Amino acid sequence: MTQTDRNLKRRFTSAMTTAAFMLASSFSLGKRNYEKRSKKKTKLQQLIIIIAIYGFLLSTIYHTAQILSEASVKSTPAAQPQPDTIQEALAAQVRGYELVLKREPNNLTALEGLAVTKLQLKDYAGAIEILQDLVKRHPERSDYGALLAKAKQKANQK
Protein backbone atom coordinates (compact mmCIF):
# COMPACT_ATOMS: atom_id res chain seq x y z
CA MET A 1 0.00 0.00 0.00
CA THR A 2 1.20 3.37 -0.81
CA GLN A 3 1.41 6.35 1.36
CA THR A 4 -1.62 7.96 -0.32
CA ASP A 5 -3.68 4.87 0.13
CA ARG A 6 -2.81 4.83 3.82
CA ASN A 7 -3.71 8.49 4.17
CA LEU A 8 -7.02 7.88 2.43
CA LYS A 9 -7.68 4.89 4.65
CA ARG A 10 -6.94 6.96 7.79
CA ARG A 11 -9.15 9.79 6.60
CA PHE A 12 -11.92 7.37 5.73
CA THR A 13 -11.56 5.61 9.08
CA SER A 14 -11.50 8.86 11.01
CA ALA A 15 -14.48 10.16 9.01
CA MET A 16 -16.37 6.94 9.73
CA THR A 17 -15.43 7.11 13.41
CA THR A 18 -16.56 10.73 13.59
CA ALA A 19 -19.81 9.90 11.83
CA ALA A 20 -20.40 6.93 14.11
CA PHE A 21 -19.65 9.04 17.17
CA MET A 22 -21.98 11.79 16.00
CA LEU A 23 -24.69 9.28 15.22
CA ALA A 24 -24.32 7.64 18.61
CA SER A 25 -24.28 10.96 20.41
CA SER A 26 -27.39 12.10 18.56
CA PHE A 27 -29.19 8.96 19.70
CA SER A 28 -28.09 9.47 23.26
CA LEU A 29 -29.08 13.14 23.10
CA GLY A 30 -32.46 12.09 21.78
CA LYS A 31 -32.77 9.64 24.61
CA ARG A 32 -31.86 12.31 27.12
CA ASN A 33 -34.33 14.73 25.57
CA TYR A 34 -37.01 12.05 25.68
CA GLU A 35 -36.30 11.43 29.36
CA LYS A 36 -36.46 15.15 30.09
CA ARG A 37 -39.75 15.50 28.18
CA SER A 38 -41.10 12.43 29.92
CA LYS A 39 -40.20 13.85 33.35
CA LYS A 40 -41.77 17.21 32.48
CA LYS A 41 -44.91 15.48 31.23
CA THR A 42 -45.14 13.39 34.40
CA LYS A 43 -44.71 16.48 36.60
CA LEU A 44 -47.37 18.32 34.60
CA GLN A 45 -49.78 15.41 34.98
CA GLN A 46 -49.13 15.30 38.73
CA LEU A 47 -49.75 19.05 38.99
CA ILE A 48 -53.04 18.75 37.09
CA ILE A 49 -54.16 15.87 39.32
CA ILE A 50 -53.32 17.84 42.49
CA ILE A 51 -55.23 20.90 41.22
CA ALA A 52 -58.23 18.72 40.34
CA ILE A 53 -58.24 17.11 43.80
CA TYR A 54 -58.04 20.49 45.53
CA GLY A 55 -60.85 21.83 43.35
CA PHE A 56 -63.04 18.84 44.15
CA LEU A 57 -62.35 19.10 47.89
CA LEU A 58 -62.97 22.84 48.00
CA SER A 59 -66.26 22.56 46.12
CA THR A 60 -67.39 19.73 48.39
CA ILE A 61 -66.53 21.72 51.52
CA TYR A 62 -68.27 24.81 50.13
CA HIS A 63 -71.51 22.98 49.32
CA THR A 64 -71.49 21.16 52.67
CA ALA A 65 -71.12 24.48 54.47
CA GLN A 66 -74.05 25.89 52.49
CA ILE A 67 -76.26 22.94 53.36
CA LEU A 68 -75.38 23.20 57.04
CA SER A 69 -76.04 26.94 57.14
CA GLU A 70 -79.41 26.44 55.41
CA ALA A 71 -80.30 23.73 57.91
CA SER A 72 -79.50 26.01 60.84
CA VAL A 73 -81.64 28.78 59.34
CA LYS A 74 -84.58 26.39 58.85
CA SER A 75 -84.47 25.24 62.47
CA THR A 76 -85.03 28.73 63.88
CA PRO A 77 -88.38 29.36 65.60
CA ALA A 78 -89.36 32.00 63.02
CA ALA A 79 -89.66 29.28 60.39
CA GLN A 80 -92.32 27.41 62.37
CA PRO A 81 -95.91 27.94 61.23
CA GLN A 82 -97.95 30.49 63.14
CA PRO A 83 -101.04 29.35 65.08
CA ASP A 84 -103.32 31.30 62.73
CA THR A 85 -102.06 29.39 59.72
CA ILE A 86 -102.50 26.07 61.54
CA GLN A 87 -106.09 26.97 62.41
CA GLU A 88 -106.72 28.03 58.82
CA ALA A 89 -105.28 24.76 57.50
CA LEU A 90 -107.45 22.73 59.87
CA ALA A 91 -110.53 24.75 58.88
CA ALA A 92 -109.73 24.04 55.22
CA GLN A 93 -109.51 20.33 56.03
CA VAL A 94 -112.91 20.47 57.72
CA ARG A 95 -114.41 22.12 54.62
CA GLY A 96 -112.85 19.43 52.43
CA TYR A 97 -114.23 16.59 54.55
CA GLU A 98 -117.67 18.22 54.59
CA LEU A 99 -117.66 18.47 50.79
CA VAL A 100 -116.82 14.77 50.53
CA LEU A 101 -119.58 13.91 53.01
CA LYS A 102 -122.14 15.88 50.97
CA ARG A 103 -121.41 13.59 48.00
CA GLU A 104 -120.85 10.41 50.05
CA PRO A 105 -122.56 10.64 53.46
CA ASN A 106 -121.31 7.19 54.55
CA ASN A 107 -117.62 7.72 53.66
CA LEU A 108 -115.84 6.25 56.68
CA THR A 109 -112.49 7.92 55.97
CA ALA A 110 -114.07 11.36 55.65
CA LEU A 111 -116.06 10.88 58.88
CA GLU A 112 -112.94 9.81 60.79
CA GLY A 113 -110.91 12.68 59.37
CA LEU A 114 -113.63 15.21 60.17
CA ALA A 115 -113.91 13.97 63.76
CA VAL A 116 -110.15 14.09 64.36
CA THR A 117 -109.82 17.51 62.73
CA LYS A 118 -112.65 18.90 64.84
CA LEU A 119 -110.88 17.57 67.93
CA GLN A 120 -107.74 19.40 66.84
CA LEU A 121 -109.78 22.58 66.38
CA LYS A 122 -111.21 22.03 69.89
CA ASP A 123 -114.74 21.78 68.47
CA TYR A 124 -115.59 19.03 70.93
CA ALA A 125 -119.37 19.19 70.43
CA GLY A 126 -119.04 18.66 66.66
CA ALA A 127 -116.49 15.86 67.17
CA ILE A 128 -118.70 14.13 69.78
CA GLU A 129 -121.68 14.13 67.40
CA ILE A 130 -119.66 12.51 64.58
CA LEU A 131 -117.94 10.03 66.91
CA GLN A 132 -121.28 8.91 68.42
CA ASP A 133 -122.52 8.21 64.89
CA LEU A 134 -119.33 6.24 64.13
CA VAL A 135 -119.66 4.20 67.35
CA LYS A 136 -123.28 3.34 66.47
CA ARG A 137 -122.32 2.25 62.94
CA HIS A 138 -119.17 0.35 63.94
CA PRO A 139 -119.36 -0.86 67.55
CA GLU A 140 -116.49 -3.32 66.91
CA ARG A 141 -114.03 -0.42 66.50
CA SER A 142 -112.72 0.36 69.97
CA ASP A 143 -110.69 3.34 68.74
CA TYR A 144 -113.93 5.24 68.03
CA GLY A 145 -115.06 4.64 71.61
CA ALA A 146 -111.70 5.83 72.95
CA LEU A 147 -111.85 9.00 70.84
CA LEU A 148 -115.43 9.62 71.98
CA ALA A 149 -114.43 9.26 75.63
CA LYS A 150 -111.49 11.61 75.10
CA ALA A 151 -113.72 14.19 73.39
CA LYS A 152 -116.31 14.03 76.20
CA GLN A 153 -113.58 14.42 78.81
CA LYS A 154 -112.14 17.49 77.03
CA ALA A 155 -115.63 18.97 76.62
CA ASN A 156 -116.28 18.59 80.36
CA GLN A 157 -112.97 20.29 81.19
CA LYS A 158 -113.94 23.39 79.24
Q: What is the pLDDT of residue 46?
A: 93
Q: Which burial class, exposed, middle or buried, applies to 138 when counting CB atoms under 10 A from its CB (0-12, 13-18, 19+)?
A: middle
pLDDT of 16 > 90? The answer is: no
Q: What is the pLDDT of residue 1?
A: 64
Mean pLDDT, the chain, rounded, equals 81
CATH number at 81-157: 1.25.40.10
Return the domain boundaries, the chain. Answer: 1-80, 81-157
Lowest mean pLDDT among 15-24, 32-41, 105-114, 132-141: 15-24
pTM exceeds 0.75 for this model? no
Neighbours of 133 (CB within 10 A): 13
> What whole-number distance in Å separates Cα of residue 83 and Cα of residue 53?
49
Lowest mean pLDDT among 74-78, 91-95, 123-127: 74-78
Q: What is the pLDDT of residue 158?
A: 65
pLDDT of 144 > 90? The answer is: no
pLDDT of 81 > 70? The answer is: no
